[in-house]
Amino acid sequence: MSNSTPNPSRRKLLGALALAPAALALPSLLRLSPTRAETNPDPFSGHAAAIRHRIGEIEIIALADGRGPITNDLIIGFNDTAGRLAAKAAHKAHDPVTSTISINAYLIRTADRLIAVDSGAGAAMGPTTGAWLDSLASAGIAKENIDTLFLTHTHLDHVGGMSNEGGIRLLPNAQLVAAEAEWAFAHDDGVLSALPEAFKGMMLASRAQLAPYAANRAMLAMDQETEFAPGVTAVPLPGHTPGHMGLRIESHGEALLIWGDVVHVPAYQFTHPDWSVAFDADGPTAIASRRRMLDMASHDDLLVAGMHLDFPALGYVERRGDAYRYFAAPPDFRV
Ligand SMILES: [Zn+2]
């Protein structure tokens, strides 16, 4: 990767990638299907975790997939002085070159549904990711019992754990639910052909993860919210990708917003919501979605969850002037 800030056409190109931040930041880890031996003797052990929380009568389980690096030159607007101050305000460590971010997934359990939300990065991104299935098992959830897999979007750090290397579904009984625009984006051959050769494989890897679910999928419109299970509503949050969606979960007066990739780098983007990432498909729209969600979460005192918030990635947002602060949610002893 270049060390300079990508120019607009470069950003547009990067935005088209079905590619994860860590993979962008570390080309040396750009391996599509490494065996365990190639990466680490046991890459999936050591970081599995599951944290439960209740939203009325709905249970949410935060599932750790791992963590990955993102170089700060991929954060558009970043400068070291402001970054250092933002990290201090967020009580986060500041590294002038590379930030480490969590990669998370979630499980929603209602009275009669088990809904997985994203599937982590799987084996495609090196030894620090791929714990999602172990986290699921540690929560006592059999993957065969999951009836729905909702995807916030199709970048590889969100779809990498859906299928195995043989093209077999890892959630054999789950219907895929995602935005129709996202499915079209992931399968757009024009987007694929415009990619640099080295990156085409990453988009193809995402497609390979999606393919086993093609025959059993429900596609959602981006111009409306869709309640696809009782109390579980898909919310369009375009910008990061054309079909990026979050979920609003409501039950008995309690609410949670799972906002997908509205925030990638918690150390900086709560203080600087206008700092975007190079792999946003549409930077200005992504910033608008982020500002809208931060404003709503702080105004409504909403519990929020996100795939790159610090695990267990359940917390609250408070407004501070033009900026925001994130506070991790306390344990929920009801579960
Ligand atoms: Zn992501």
- Predicted confidence band at 142 (pLDDT cuts at 50, 70, 90)? very high
Query: Looking at residues 249-275, what average pLDDT do you find?
Result: 98
pLDDT tens track for 4-28: 333 434 344 343 333 333 333 333 3
> Greater confidence, 309 or 47?
309
Beta-ladder partners of 277: 75
CA of 186 to the centre of ligand 1 (A): 14
Least confident of 68-72, 141-145, 326-330: 68-72
Which contiguous run of DSSP H or E holds residue 24?
Answer: helix 21-25
Least confident of 34-43, 50-59, 77-86, 299-308: 34-43
CA of 280 to the centre of ligand 1 (A): 10
Mean pLDDT taken over the chain: 88
Q: How far is CA 5 from the centre of its chain?
A: 23
CA of 252 to the centre of ligand 1 (A): 30
CA of 311 to the centre of ligand 1 (A): 14
CA of 36 to the centre of ligand 1 (A): 23
CA of 67 to the centre of ligand 1 (A): 11
CA of 71 to the centre of ligand 1 (A): 14
Q: What is the pLDDT of residue 159?
A: 97
CA of 244 to the centre of ligand 1 (A): 11
| pLDDT(311) > 50 | yes
Residues 6+ apart with CB under 8 A from 81: none
Q: How far is CA 17 from the centre of its chain?
A: 15
Query: Looking at residues 165-175, what average pLDDT do you find?
Result: 96
CA of 176 to the centre of ligand 1 (A): 18
Q: What is the pLDDT of residue 3?
A: 36
CA of 331 to the centre of ligand 1 (A): 25
Distances (CA, A) of 196 to 16, 156, 186, 241: 11, 17, 16, 18
Q: What is the pLDDT of residue 14?
A: 41
SS (H, E, C) 256-293: EEECCCCCCCHHHHCCCCCCEECCCCCHHHHHHHHHHH
Query: Looking at residues 249-256, what average pLDDT do you find?
Result: 97
CA of 193 to the centre of ligand 1 (A): 22
Task: Report all structural domains of the chain as residue ranges with CATH numbers, in order of start.
Answer: 8-328 (3.60.15.10)
CA of 308 to the centre of ligand 1 (A): 7
Query: Is there a contact between 70 and 264 (Cβ–Cβ < 8 Å)?
Result: yes
18 C-beta neighbours (distance < 10 Å), count? 29
- Predicted confidence band at 271 (pLDDT cuts at 50, 70, 90)? very high
Q: What is the pLDDT of residue 18?
A: 33
Which contiguous run of DSSP H or E holds residue 13?
Answer: helix 8-15
Query: Looking at residues 210-232, what average pLDDT do you find?
Result: 98
pLDDT tens track for 26-68: 333 333 344 444 444 444 456 899 999 999 999 999 999 999 9
Q: What is the pLDDT of residue 46?
A: 60
pLDDT tens track for 91-117: 999 999 999 999 999 999 999 999 999
- Over pLDDT 90: what percentage of the chain? 79
CA of 246 to the centre of ligand 1 (A): 12
| pLDDT(148) > 60 | yes
Backbone angles phi, psi at 77, to 5 degrees: 105, -15
> Greater confidence, 32 or 252?
252
Query: Is there a contact between 263 and 304 (Cβ–Cβ < 8 Å)?
Result: no
Query: Looking at residues 126-132, what average pLDDT do you find?
Result: 89
| Separation between Cα atoms, residue 53 and residue 215, nearest integer Å | 33
Q: What is the pLDDT of residue 194?
A: 87
Q: How far is CA 332 from the centre of its chain?
A: 23
Q: What is the pLDDT of residue 62?
A: 98
CA of 37 to the centre of ligand 1 (A): 25
Place of tokens 């995807």: 151
| Separation between Cα atoms, residue 38 and residue 18, nearest integer Å | 23
Q: What is the pLDDT of residue 201?
A: 86
Beta-ladder partners of 116: 107, 149
